[in-house]
Amino acid sequence: MKEEQIRPARLFDRYLEIALEDARELLAEATEFDEVACPACTAAGVTERFDRHGFQYRCCAECQSLYLSPRPSAAQLDQFYSMSKAVAYFATHFYKETEDARRRELVRPKAEMTAEWARRLEATGCLADVGSGYGTYLEETRELGVFDDLLAVEPASRLAGVCRDKGFRVIEQPAEAIAETVDASCCTCFEVLEHVHDPLRLLGALKRIVRPGGMVLFTTLTASGFDIVELWRESKSVMPPSHLNLLSTGGLRRLVERAGLELVDLSTPGRLDVDILANALRDRPELQVSRFARQILAAPEPVRRRFQQFLQDSELSSHVRIVARRPGGDPSA
Protein backbone atom coordinates (compact mmCIF):
# COMPACT_ATOMS: atom_id res chain seq x y z
CA MET A 1 0.00 0.00 0.00
CA LYS A 2 1.15 3.55 -0.77
CA GLU A 3 0.13 6.85 0.76
CA GLU A 4 -0.97 8.06 -2.70
CA GLN A 5 -3.68 5.35 -2.88
CA ILE A 6 -5.47 6.32 0.31
CA ARG A 7 -4.74 10.02 0.47
CA PRO A 8 -3.63 11.34 -2.92
CA ALA A 9 -1.44 14.45 -2.44
CA ARG A 10 -3.71 16.56 -4.68
CA LEU A 11 -6.77 15.89 -2.51
CA PHE A 12 -5.01 15.71 0.81
CA ASP A 13 -3.20 19.04 0.43
CA ARG A 14 -6.43 20.77 -0.57
CA TYR A 15 -8.12 19.16 2.42
CA LEU A 16 -5.38 20.46 4.73
CA GLU A 17 -5.71 23.95 3.22
CA ILE A 18 -9.44 24.02 3.95
CA ALA A 19 -8.83 22.56 7.41
CA LEU A 20 -6.47 25.47 8.09
CA GLU A 21 -9.15 27.98 7.17
CA ASP A 22 -11.47 26.20 9.62
CA ALA A 23 -8.75 26.29 12.25
CA ARG A 24 -8.20 30.02 11.85
CA GLU A 25 -11.89 30.67 12.51
CA LEU A 26 -11.69 28.62 15.68
CA LEU A 27 -8.59 30.52 16.81
CA ALA A 28 -10.72 33.65 17.03
CA GLU A 29 -12.33 32.03 20.11
CA ALA A 30 -9.03 30.97 21.69
CA THR A 31 -9.79 32.79 24.94
CA GLU A 32 -12.32 30.05 25.69
CA PHE A 33 -9.83 27.21 25.17
CA ASP A 34 -9.05 24.83 28.06
CA GLU A 35 -5.60 24.37 29.50
CA VAL A 36 -5.03 20.61 30.01
CA ALA A 37 -2.35 18.33 31.46
CA CYS A 38 -1.23 15.23 29.53
CA PRO A 39 -4.45 13.48 28.46
CA ALA A 40 -2.68 10.11 28.61
CA CYS A 41 -0.87 10.10 31.96
CA THR A 42 -2.07 13.38 33.63
CA ALA A 43 1.49 14.69 34.14
CA ALA A 44 1.75 18.47 33.87
CA GLY A 45 5.47 18.59 33.04
CA VAL A 46 6.47 19.25 29.45
CA THR A 47 9.78 18.83 27.62
CA GLU A 48 8.82 20.97 24.66
CA ARG A 49 6.17 23.37 23.42
CA PHE A 50 5.71 24.54 19.89
CA ASP A 51 3.31 26.52 17.80
CA ARG A 52 1.56 24.96 14.83
CA HIS A 53 -0.71 27.24 12.78
CA GLY A 54 -1.37 29.35 15.88
CA PHE A 55 -2.16 26.40 18.18
CA GLN A 56 0.15 25.16 20.93
CA TYR A 57 1.37 21.58 21.15
CA ARG A 58 3.11 20.20 24.23
CA CYS A 59 5.23 17.11 24.64
CA CYS A 60 4.69 15.32 27.99
CA ALA A 61 7.79 15.00 30.16
CA GLU A 62 6.57 11.68 31.59
CA CYS A 63 5.24 9.74 28.61
CA GLN A 64 6.31 11.81 25.56
CA SER A 65 2.77 12.11 24.26
CA LEU A 66 2.13 15.10 22.02
CA TYR A 67 -1.04 17.03 22.77
CA LEU A 68 -2.78 20.30 22.12
CA SER A 69 -3.04 22.67 25.12
CA PRO A 70 -4.79 25.01 25.47
CA ARG A 71 -7.41 23.16 23.43
CA PRO A 72 -10.95 23.97 22.25
CA SER A 73 -13.63 22.99 24.77
CA ALA A 74 -15.80 19.96 24.04
CA ALA A 75 -18.64 22.31 23.01
CA GLN A 76 -16.36 24.29 20.69
CA LEU A 77 -15.17 21.07 19.07
CA ASP A 78 -18.72 19.84 18.51
CA GLN A 79 -19.58 23.14 16.91
CA PHE A 80 -16.35 23.06 14.89
CA TYR A 81 -17.02 19.61 13.43
CA SER A 82 -20.63 20.39 12.61
CA MET A 83 -19.61 23.54 10.67
CA SER A 84 -16.26 22.32 9.32
CA LYS A 85 -15.69 22.97 5.62
CA ALA A 86 -12.90 20.37 5.68
CA VAL A 87 -15.28 17.68 6.90
CA ALA A 88 -17.65 18.61 4.07
CA TYR A 89 -14.79 18.48 1.54
CA PHE A 90 -13.77 15.07 2.86
CA ALA A 91 -17.31 13.83 2.23
CA THR A 92 -17.77 15.33 -1.23
CA HIS A 93 -14.30 14.78 -2.71
CA PHE A 94 -11.78 12.90 -0.67
CA TYR A 95 -13.92 10.05 0.57
CA LYS A 96 -15.67 9.35 -2.77
CA GLU A 97 -12.44 9.29 -4.77
CA THR A 98 -10.56 7.07 -2.36
CA GLU A 99 -13.38 4.81 -1.17
CA ASP A 100 -12.44 1.76 -3.26
CA ALA A 101 -8.77 1.85 -2.28
CA ARG A 102 -9.61 2.48 1.36
CA ARG A 103 -12.09 -0.36 1.42
CA ARG A 104 -9.61 -2.79 -0.09
CA GLU A 105 -6.43 -1.65 1.66
CA LEU A 106 -7.66 -0.48 5.04
CA VAL A 107 -11.21 -1.43 5.86
CA ARG A 108 -11.38 -5.07 4.79
CA PRO A 109 -8.15 -6.02 6.61
CA LYS A 110 -9.45 -4.13 9.65
CA ALA A 111 -12.71 -6.11 9.59
CA GLU A 112 -10.85 -9.41 9.23
CA MET A 113 -8.42 -8.57 11.99
CA THR A 114 -11.17 -7.49 14.40
CA ALA A 115 -13.17 -10.65 13.67
CA GLU A 116 -10.05 -12.70 14.38
CA TRP A 117 -9.54 -11.02 17.76
CA ALA A 118 -13.23 -11.35 18.61
CA ARG A 119 -13.10 -15.09 17.89
CA ARG A 120 -10.03 -15.44 20.05
CA LEU A 121 -11.60 -13.51 22.94
CA GLU A 122 -15.02 -15.13 22.42
CA ALA A 123 -16.64 -11.75 21.82
CA THR A 124 -18.65 -12.51 18.68
CA GLY A 125 -22.10 -11.51 19.97
CA CYS A 126 -23.07 -7.92 19.23
CA LEU A 127 -20.44 -5.62 17.71
CA ALA A 128 -20.89 -1.88 18.30
CA ASP A 129 -18.81 0.39 16.09
CA VAL A 130 -18.26 3.90 17.45
CA GLY A 131 -17.84 6.59 14.80
CA SER A 132 -19.23 4.41 12.02
CA GLY A 133 -19.09 7.16 9.40
CA TYR A 134 -20.26 5.77 6.06
CA GLY A 135 -20.69 2.27 7.50
CA THR A 136 -18.01 0.83 5.22
CA TYR A 137 -16.37 -1.07 8.05
CA LEU A 138 -19.71 -2.49 9.19
CA GLU A 139 -20.48 -3.57 5.62
CA GLU A 140 -17.19 -5.44 5.39
CA THR A 141 -17.85 -6.97 8.80
CA ARG A 142 -21.36 -8.05 7.77
CA GLU A 143 -19.80 -9.87 4.78
CA LEU A 144 -17.68 -11.93 7.16
CA GLY A 145 -20.74 -13.14 9.11
CA VAL A 146 -18.80 -13.57 12.36
CA PHE A 147 -20.91 -11.42 14.70
CA ASP A 148 -24.52 -12.14 15.70
CA ASP A 149 -25.51 -8.49 15.53
CA LEU A 150 -24.06 -5.16 14.35
CA LEU A 151 -24.70 -1.71 15.75
CA ALA A 152 -23.52 1.70 14.52
CA VAL A 153 -22.84 4.51 17.01
CA GLU A 154 -22.72 7.68 14.91
CA PRO A 155 -23.61 11.14 16.23
CA ALA A 156 -23.54 12.98 12.88
CA SER A 157 -27.10 12.79 11.58
CA ARG A 158 -26.20 12.68 7.86
CA LEU A 159 -23.77 9.79 8.41
CA ALA A 160 -26.18 8.07 10.78
CA GLY A 161 -28.67 8.23 7.90
CA VAL A 162 -26.17 6.60 5.53
CA CYS A 163 -25.67 3.73 8.01
CA ARG A 164 -29.43 3.32 8.42
CA ASP A 165 -29.89 3.20 4.63
CA LYS A 166 -27.34 0.39 4.55
CA GLY A 167 -29.57 -1.55 6.93
CA PHE A 168 -27.71 -1.05 10.21
CA ARG A 169 -29.20 -0.35 13.60
CA VAL A 170 -27.94 3.10 14.64
CA ILE A 171 -27.55 4.94 17.93
CA GLU A 172 -27.36 8.58 16.85
CA GLN A 173 -25.37 9.87 19.83
CA PRO A 174 -21.77 10.39 20.82
CA ALA A 175 -20.45 7.32 22.67
CA GLU A 176 -19.76 9.52 25.71
CA ALA A 177 -23.47 10.38 25.95
CA ILE A 178 -24.60 6.75 26.14
CA ALA A 179 -25.15 6.38 29.86
CA GLU A 180 -25.68 2.65 30.27
CA THR A 181 -24.15 -0.54 28.94
CA VAL A 182 -25.33 -1.22 25.39
CA ASP A 183 -24.48 -4.83 26.21
CA ALA A 184 -22.26 -5.40 23.21
CA SER A 185 -19.64 -8.17 23.28
CA CYS A 186 -17.24 -6.12 21.24
CA CYS A 187 -16.75 -2.43 20.64
CA THR A 188 -14.57 -0.93 17.91
CA CYS A 189 -13.50 2.68 17.45
CA PHE A 190 -11.21 3.53 14.55
CA GLU A 191 -9.25 6.80 14.34
CA VAL A 192 -11.42 8.74 16.75
CA LEU A 193 -9.24 9.09 19.84
CA GLU A 194 -6.89 11.66 18.28
CA HIS A 195 -9.87 13.97 17.62
CA VAL A 196 -11.62 14.09 20.99
CA HIS A 197 -11.42 16.62 23.81
CA ASP A 198 -10.98 13.98 26.50
CA PRO A 199 -9.53 10.56 25.52
CA LEU A 200 -10.16 9.10 28.99
CA ARG A 201 -13.84 9.93 28.69
CA LEU A 202 -13.95 8.23 25.28
CA LEU A 203 -12.34 5.04 26.59
CA GLY A 204 -14.70 5.07 29.59
CA ALA A 205 -17.58 5.19 27.11
CA LEU A 206 -16.20 2.31 25.03
CA LYS A 207 -15.86 0.29 28.22
CA ARG A 208 -19.48 0.95 29.19
CA ILE A 209 -20.72 -0.07 25.75
CA VAL A 210 -19.48 -3.63 26.26
CA ARG A 211 -20.63 -6.02 28.97
CA PRO A 212 -18.12 -7.21 31.60
CA GLY A 213 -15.53 -9.40 29.89
CA GLY A 214 -16.24 -7.70 26.56
CA MET A 215 -13.60 -6.64 24.06
CA VAL A 216 -12.66 -3.08 23.08
CA LEU A 217 -10.52 -2.48 20.00
CA PHE A 218 -9.39 0.97 18.90
CA THR A 219 -6.83 2.52 16.61
CA THR A 220 -5.21 5.95 16.56
CA LEU A 221 -2.06 7.81 15.57
CA THR A 222 0.91 7.71 17.90
CA ALA A 223 3.71 10.21 18.49
CA SER A 224 6.00 7.19 18.97
CA GLY A 225 5.76 6.41 15.26
CA PHE A 226 8.70 6.85 12.90
CA ASP A 227 7.31 9.39 10.42
CA ILE A 228 5.90 11.59 13.21
CA VAL A 229 9.09 11.38 15.29
CA GLU A 230 11.13 12.40 12.24
CA LEU A 231 8.88 15.13 10.85
CA TRP A 232 7.54 16.22 14.26
CA ARG A 233 6.04 19.71 14.01
CA GLU A 234 6.17 19.50 10.18
CA SER A 235 4.24 16.24 10.10
CA LYS A 236 0.88 16.45 8.33
CA SER A 237 -0.45 14.40 11.26
CA VAL A 238 0.44 17.17 13.71
CA MET A 239 -2.59 19.05 12.53
CA PRO A 240 -4.62 21.35 14.78
CA PRO A 241 -7.29 21.37 15.89
CA SER A 242 -8.46 18.01 14.56
CA HIS A 243 -5.49 16.07 15.92
CA LEU A 244 -5.47 17.00 19.59
CA ASN A 245 -3.97 13.81 20.95
CA LEU A 246 -0.97 12.04 19.44
CA LEU A 247 -0.30 9.83 22.42
CA SER A 248 2.86 7.77 22.77
CA THR A 249 2.61 3.99 23.08
CA GLY A 250 3.61 4.36 26.76
CA GLY A 251 0.95 7.03 27.24
CA LEU A 252 -1.68 4.78 25.61
CA ARG A 253 -0.83 1.92 27.99
CA ARG A 254 -1.28 4.33 30.90
CA LEU A 255 -4.58 5.62 29.49
CA VAL A 256 -6.02 2.10 29.07
CA GLU A 257 -5.13 1.37 32.68
CA ARG A 258 -6.68 4.64 33.90
CA ALA A 259 -9.88 3.77 32.04
CA GLY A 260 -10.09 0.51 34.01
CA LEU A 261 -9.55 -1.68 30.96
CA GLU A 262 -7.19 -4.67 30.77
CA LEU A 263 -4.71 -4.38 27.94
CA VAL A 264 -4.67 -7.49 25.78
CA ASP A 265 -2.48 -6.33 22.92
CA LEU A 266 -0.79 -3.17 21.66
CA SER A 267 0.71 -3.22 18.19
CA THR A 268 1.60 -0.79 15.42
CA PRO A 269 0.46 -2.38 12.17
CA GLY A 270 1.09 0.83 10.17
CA ARG A 271 2.47 0.32 6.67
CA LEU A 272 3.08 3.88 5.53
CA ASP A 273 5.79 5.51 7.70
CA VAL A 274 8.64 5.20 5.20
CA ASP A 275 6.41 6.20 2.29
CA ILE A 276 5.02 9.23 4.17
CA LEU A 277 8.52 10.39 5.04
CA ALA A 278 9.73 9.91 1.45
CA ASN A 279 6.78 11.92 0.10
CA ALA A 280 7.29 14.72 2.63
CA LEU A 281 10.95 15.07 1.65
CA ARG A 282 10.16 14.85 -2.04
CA ASP A 283 7.84 17.85 -1.66
CA ARG A 284 10.03 19.75 0.82
CA PRO A 285 13.66 18.62 0.58
CA GLU A 286 14.71 21.26 3.12
CA LEU A 287 12.86 19.51 6.00
CA GLN A 288 15.06 18.58 8.94
CA VAL A 289 15.14 14.84 9.51
CA SER A 290 17.82 12.56 10.95
CA ARG A 291 20.77 11.39 8.89
CA PHE A 292 19.61 7.84 9.56
CA ALA A 293 16.18 8.55 8.08
CA ARG A 294 17.78 9.91 4.90
CA GLN A 295 19.90 6.78 4.72
CA ILE A 296 16.82 4.56 4.93
CA LEU A 297 15.02 6.60 2.26
CA ALA A 298 18.01 6.31 -0.09
CA ALA A 299 18.25 2.53 0.43
CA PRO A 300 17.02 -0.04 -2.13
CA GLU A 301 13.32 -0.97 -2.01
CA PRO A 302 13.82 -4.32 -0.20
CA VAL A 303 15.71 -2.55 2.62
CA ARG A 304 12.97 0.06 2.95
CA ARG A 305 10.38 -2.68 3.03
CA ARG A 306 12.25 -4.60 5.72
CA PHE A 307 12.66 -1.40 7.72
CA GLN A 308 8.90 -0.74 7.56
CA GLN A 309 8.37 -4.31 8.73
CA PHE A 310 10.80 -3.68 11.60
CA LEU A 311 8.82 -0.56 12.58
CA GLN A 312 5.61 -2.59 12.59
CA ASP A 313 7.11 -5.35 14.68
CA SER A 314 8.72 -2.98 17.20
CA GLU A 315 5.84 -0.65 18.15
CA LEU A 316 7.51 2.08 16.12
CA SER A 317 4.99 2.78 13.36
CA SER A 318 2.66 5.76 13.74
CA HIS A 319 -0.56 3.77 13.34
CA VAL A 320 -1.35 1.96 16.59
CA ARG A 321 -3.98 -0.64 17.46
CA ILE A 322 -5.06 -1.56 20.96
CA VAL A 323 -7.09 -4.55 22.05
CA ALA A 324 -8.41 -4.41 25.60
CA ARG A 325 -11.00 -6.08 27.79
CA ARG A 326 -13.53 -4.83 30.27
CA PRO A 327 -12.70 -6.73 33.49
CA GLY A 328 -14.98 -9.47 34.81
CA GLY A 329 -17.71 -11.64 33.31
CA ASP A 330 -17.91 -13.86 30.27
CA PRO A 331 -18.64 -11.89 27.06
CA SER A 332 -20.41 -14.84 25.43
CA ALA A 333 -22.70 -15.55 28.39
Residues forming contacts to Zn ion in the complex (CB under 5 A) are 38, 40-41, 43, 60, 62-63, 65, 251
Q: Judged by CB, which is closer to Zn ion: 188, or 220? A: 220
Q: Judged by CB, which is closer to Zn ion: 19, or 229? A: 229
Smallest distance from the beta carbon of 27 to Zn ion, in angstroms?
Answer: 25
Question: Considering only CA atoms, which of 254, 243, 201, 206 is closest in space to residue 221?
Answer: 243
CB 67, CB 244: distance < 8 Å: yes
Q: Judged by CB, which is closer to Zn ion: 207, or 254? A: 254
Q: What is the separation of C-alpha 235 from the centre of its chain, rounded to a whole number of angstroms? A: 15
Smallest distance from the beta carbon of 40 to Zn ion, in angstroms?
Answer: 5
Smallest distance from the beta carbon of 166 to Zn ion, in angstroms?
Answer: 39
Residues 6+ apart with CB under 8 A from 78: none
For 200, half-sphere exposure in the C-beta direction (CA atoms, 13 angstrom radius) is: 14
Q: Please state, in angstroms and rounded to a whole number, the distance separating the CA atoms of residues 84 and 91.
A: 11
Smallest distance from the beta carbon of 316 to Zn ion, in angstroms?
Answer: 18
Smallest distance from the beta carbon of 39 to Zn ion, in angstroms?
Answer: 8
Q: Judged by CB, which is closer to Zn ion: 40, or 159? A: 40
Smallest distance from the beta carbon of 57 to Zn ion, in angstroms?
Answer: 13
Number of residues assigned to the chain: 333
* 240 DSSP 8-state letter: T
Q: Judged by CB, which is closer to Zn ion: 213, or 251? A: 251
Helix (H, G, I), strand (E, B) or coil at 268: coil
Q: What is the DSSP string of 61-87?
A: TTT--EEESSB--HHHHHHHHHH-HHH
Q: Judged by CB, which is closer to Zn ion: 67, or 147? A: 67
Residues 6+ apart with CB under 8 A from 280: 227, 231, 234, 235, 236, 287
